[in-house]
Amino acid sequence: MRRSSPLWLLLAVLLTVLPRLDAAAAKKPNVLLLCIDDLRPELACFGKSYIRSPNIDALAARGRAFHRHYVQAPTCGASRYALLTGTYGPAGNGALFSRGAQVAKDPKSYPPSFPAWFRQNGYTTVSVGKVSHHPGGRGGNDWDNDSIHEMPLSWDRHLLPAGPWRHPRGAMHGLANGEIRGDASKMDLFQAVEGPDSIYPDGLITDEALNQLDQLTKADDGKPFFLAVGIIRPHLPFGAPKKYLDLYEGVELPPIAHPTKPTDRTTWHGSGEFMKYNRWKRNPNTDAEFATEVRRHYAACVSYADAQVGRVINRLKETGQANNTIVVLWGDHGWHLGEHAIWGKHALFEESLHSPLIVSYPDMPKPGEHSDSIVETIDVFPSLCEIAGLPIPNFVDGSSLRPLIENPSAAGHSAIAYAKARTIRTDTHRLVAHNDGYNELYDHRTTDGETRNVAAEQPEVVKRLLAELNHRLNRTAR
């Protein structure tokens, strides 16, 4: 009996441990969603070799970068509405607040949001930074009124560390060391100040994201987490620590593609958001040297945002959870850097609607191969459900990207967007349909791209794409 007691002891230990191993094996994967504001595909891994983005590039190298991802709207609020609901929605920046007010009044008035769906399926959901339209997800004069929420019932914690910027509104457009935007004409368009990452708001957002990662991975409740981290840069004003601007000293930027203002009717605008800042009485459309300065500062902000992504992913690895976490990086829309003589977003050109999307998770097939198939932001919600093993809700408008993750060359689908008009992008064309019946059609098979309207030359294409656009939006109308 004495010789067999170690065997009995071993069996007792195994019987104690095995249920816990089974529970661990059955645990759903975590989700880390990284939202980057105003980030066009200005990344080395998207073909921009002059950009220093090593952390996002490394993510793409072990995941799937979707090189033809298009957002639903060229504005923050409406684009994030599409991401966070998985549906085509209203075009205005107040879309999430309108939805949130109705949900607060009647929780059954809308289906669950993206994070709410995961929360209902056993996840702890946490948001840090700018994930919905307002950093921290609240309304009020300073965006810190806890009785006004953009995303009711969605988050266990919805956080924005304002630090010296005092409140979320201050952080949103903050420059170094607590400078808050009042009169935009008195705030510099761009800035690069010596100091650590924390002298700009994204440094504090990332610090809090690391804190939340530590809390989530140390929790003993056995629940997986859904952590969304929203980085504000490269949103205006273009402020980043000087070390990131130094990366572009002596770097030659390529010429601006089609920099001329359109002569035909389009969704062109006068870059009002950009022009209202202090530009030292200079205009990048007429001052090539100044245009280059603006582009370098945008690039510096991209590298600053990339560094914050690196900090979060490195901490994820340190917690030991990287091998059980799906990581998604998403740009909320594109941004013009002088194309069509626009500096900003808001138009329905390619530059406003094309943004990066990367999905990465352990043991995914063909890591590092990018996909050139067209996909949309509304596809992210159902994709994460399928990858995580959750049911895909029947109310989403998007399609799972799992086939493209299995095979990067699998077929995608046309992409729809909307602002003051509506647009559909296919492999070969973009149609922009104005509310009064005027149409723009651009043929991407030609070198003209989106500079020559061929609607009169290709009426059958206009008719076909208009029918598809109307069918898809009418089908999903609520």
Give CA separation, 34 vs 20, 56, 236, 308, in Å.
Answer: 31, 11, 19, 10
Query: What is d(CA 360, CA 389) in angstroms, rounded to the nearest whole number?
Result: 15
Q: Which of 133, 167, 333, 336 is catalytic?
A: 133
DSSP lists the bridge partners of residue 432 as 423, 440
Q: DSSP readout, 48-116?
A: -TTS--HHHHHHHHTSEEEEEEE-S-SSHHHHHHHHHHSS---SSTTHHHHHHHHHHH-TTSS---HHH
**Residues 152 and 100 sit within 8 Å (Cβ to Cβ):** yes
**Residues 190 and 237 sit within 8 Å (Cβ to Cβ):** yes
Paired tokens of 102: 């109705």
Q: What is the dihedral of CA 80, 86, 91, 96, to 10 degrees?
A: -60
Paired tokens of 254: 């390529």
**Residues 334 and 322 sit within 8 Å (Cβ to Cβ):** no
Q: Which of 35, 45, 76, 385 is catalytic?
A: 76
**Residues 378 and 72 sit within 8 Å (Cβ to Cβ):** yes
Is 133 designated active site?
yes
Is 45 designated active site?
no
Residues sharing a CB contact under 8 Å with residue 332, sequence separation 6 or more, in sequence order: 35, 36, 37, 38, 39, 71, 76, 79, 80, 83, 355
Q: Is 375 helix (H, G, I), strand (E, B) or coil?
A: strand
DSSP lists the bridge partners of residue 197 as none
Residue 268 C-alpha from the chain's centroid: 23
List, by residue number, the catalytic residues. 76, 133
